[in-house]
Amino acid sequence: MASISLENVTLDYPVFDLNDKSLKRRLLTVVGGQREKASVIRALHGIDLEIKAGERVGLYGPNGSGKTTLLRTIAGIFPISGGHINSTGHITPLLGLAIGANKEISAEDNIRLLLRVDGIKPTADVVDSIWDFTELKDKMRRLPLRTFSSGMLMRVLFSVSTAFSPEILLLDEWLSVVDKTFSKKAEQRMEDLVSRTKILVIASHNINMLERVCTRIVCLDEGRIISDEPVVAKPKVEEPLEAAVHDSAITSQGLS
Amino acid sequence: MLPQTRDADTISSPIVDDNGFLKVEKSPPGVVNDIKLAFFLAVYDVRHRYARSIIGPFWITLQTAFFVGCIGFVFSAISAVSTRDFLPYFAISFVLWSFLSGSTNNSTTTLLDAGGFIKDRGLPAYVFFLQCFFRHLLFLAHNIAVPILLFVFLGGTTFFRVIAAIPGLVIFAGVTLCLSLVVGSLATRYRDVQPVVESLMNLAFLASPIMWKPDLLSGREFLLHYNPVVHLLAVWRDPMLNGVMPWGSFAISLMFLAVLASLAWYALTQLRNAPFWI
């Protein structure tokens, strides 16, 4: 059974400026008897959040409200400064599509690499089926990613990132591909993916998308939860689906 | 509401289910999985660095052979020993030193390169130190061909002496791994550490008997006694080349390893803060 439970969680984010990053300075202040404390920003204030299996939670709020920080905290990436986190089920954070892709190596090898990172053995069958989903020409498989247009690149990264449905999925923005022919298919894949994960937590600025996808919306401001309400079911409209695809930002265009 | 997970018997294709998702068991997360991932990433590094050449990673071997050949001739002349005697000695020492210094120097930047994996995919930071260690272990596996060929053609050791060197080599590798973890963590937290490490590594290379033989220092042996690198080299080089077990050096090296291992343990506990550093 998948569940996430945050109890009075606070997170202090240490902000290291140039002085804090210098060992020489640090040693000098210790020798000099002064004790400078690195400045800290309280990024999350007493967060209480209970998520049960089957819920799809949208995190909504302006820039810097702590959406991504909360996702990273749930994923266990940031160590918390206070409170308790209990979660059952395997958490898969997918906070950027292009993470780990290497532009110098071939598309096929990138698929293998990204699968490994997810703990999946990249067998030929798996790689073939991911490649088929991209609908790109077969001869491109062995070309380095840097020769791909940004649209093609997104197809590859999207296909591999969404090939498996994880138990608990954390997303920073809805994943989409801005590509006329591919976007419908990508949207369908995302709908299926979300429907199969036991818990989805997604952060976004796009309230329309969140209301469409989620069962519950948590509003954040300056690291505090200001509202937490279930989404009232609206009559389903077919049209806005495509509009939402173009609205929602593609998480990370550039390669890290 | 979208439908929940379907029954297994509605699935038609062997690897893809009716929603187009791949049915593959994920390997359970844990240390074993992390080590496997680190090794896989290291193999990828080595393979792709030499992807466009025919002899592939053996360029590393060729490069080392060239360097060892040139320096071997010059330094055997400078220290007035026979080239035949000096070449295998220098080759094995240089190749293993490159492993230690390469892994340590590389560890100072490895987390910064892996920032996305750590912050956005939640991979544990130590994976990338392991990756760095494995990468240099693979380089070593290619480079070792040079001293092996020299030993075969010029002599200098026997099979049993090589076996006797194994415990020392294990200590040497352990020191390399712990040193990479400690130095790498420190250099990620404090950015001014990296150039210091680099110059210390260069200093250690020149001040230790790698390009020259220890007997050159006759009369000033204290320069050898207080240098930990000398003992780390002796624990495998003495059994391999001279057939003697330097027990004193073993004691010092093991103590050095114990100190480094506890520092590495401390570094591992601090690495949970690594997402804040990068």
Judge contact between A212 and A244, C-beta under 8 A: yes
Of these ranges, A127-136, A230-239, B215-224, the one predicted with the greatest mean pLDDT is: A127-136
Partner residue opposite A100 with nearest CB, options B14, B117, B192: B117
- For the ranges A181-190, B3-12, B81-90, the lowest mean pLDDT is seen at B3-12
How many domains does chain A fold into?
1
Partner residue opposite B37 with nearest CB, options A77, A116, A256: A116
pLDDT of residue A34: 67
| % helix, strand, coil for chain A, step of 5 | 35, 25, 40
Residue A145 lies in a domain: yes
- Check pLDDT > 80 for residue A38: no
Other CB atoms closer than 10 Å to residue A218's CB: what's the count? 23
Partner residue opposite A100 with nearest CB, options B27, B121, B272: B121
Strands (DSSP E) along B199-257, which ranges? none
Q: What is the per-residue pLDDT across B229-259, written as a single tens digit (0 to 9) for each? A: 999 999 999 999 999 999 999 999 999 999 9
Of these ranges, A140-149, B28-37, B142-151, the one predicted with the greatest mean pLDDT is: B142-151
Q: What is the per-residue pLDDT across B76-87, written as a single tens digit (0 to 9) for each? A: 998 888 888 899
pLDDT category of residue B23 using cuts at 50, 70 and 90: low
CA-CA distance, B187 to B198, in Å (whole number)? 11
Mean pLDDT of B49-53: 72
Strands (DSSP E) along chain B, which ranges? none
Q: What percent of chain A has pLDDT over 90?
A: 25
Residue A136 lies in a domain: yes
Indicate the average pLDDT of chain A. 83
Mean pLDDT of A225-244: 65
Full residue range of the structural domain in which residue A192 is found = 3-21+42-247
**pTM for the model:** 0.87
- Check pLDDT > 60 for residue A244: no
Residue A116 lies in a domain: yes
CB contacts of A26 in chain B (<8 Å) are: 190
pLDDT of residue A242: 44
pLDDT category of residue A14 using cuts at 50, 70 and 90: confident
Residue A252 lies in a domain: no
Higher pLDDT, B93 or A2: B93
Mean pLDDT of A191-220: 90
Mean pLDDT of B43-72: 85
- Check pLDDT > 70 for residue B199: yes
- Check pLDDT > 90 for residue B104: yes
pLDDT of residue A256: 36
Tell me the residue type at B224: L
Judge contact between A194 and A169, C-beta under 8 A: yes
Residue A37 lies in a domain: no
- Closest CA of chain A from B187, distance in Å: 9
Residue A31 lies in a domain: no
- Closest CA of chain A from B105, distance in Å: 17
Please indicate whether, in this complex, the C-beta atoms of B21 and A196 are within 8 angstroms of each other.
yes
- Check pLDDT > 50 for residue A165: yes
- For the ranges A32-36, A110-114, B117-121, B204-208, the lowest mean pLDDT is seen at A32-36
| % helix, strand, coil for chain B, step of 5 | 75, 0, 25
ipTM of the complex in this document? 0.83
- For the ranges A5-9, A116-120, B49-53, the lowest mean pLDDT is seen at B49-53
Q: Please report, for chain B, the start and end positions of each structural domain, with discontinuous segments joined by +.
A: 29-277
The CATH number of the domain holding residue A67 is 3.40.50.300
- Nearest partner of A4 among A41, A48, A59, A58, judged by Cα: A48
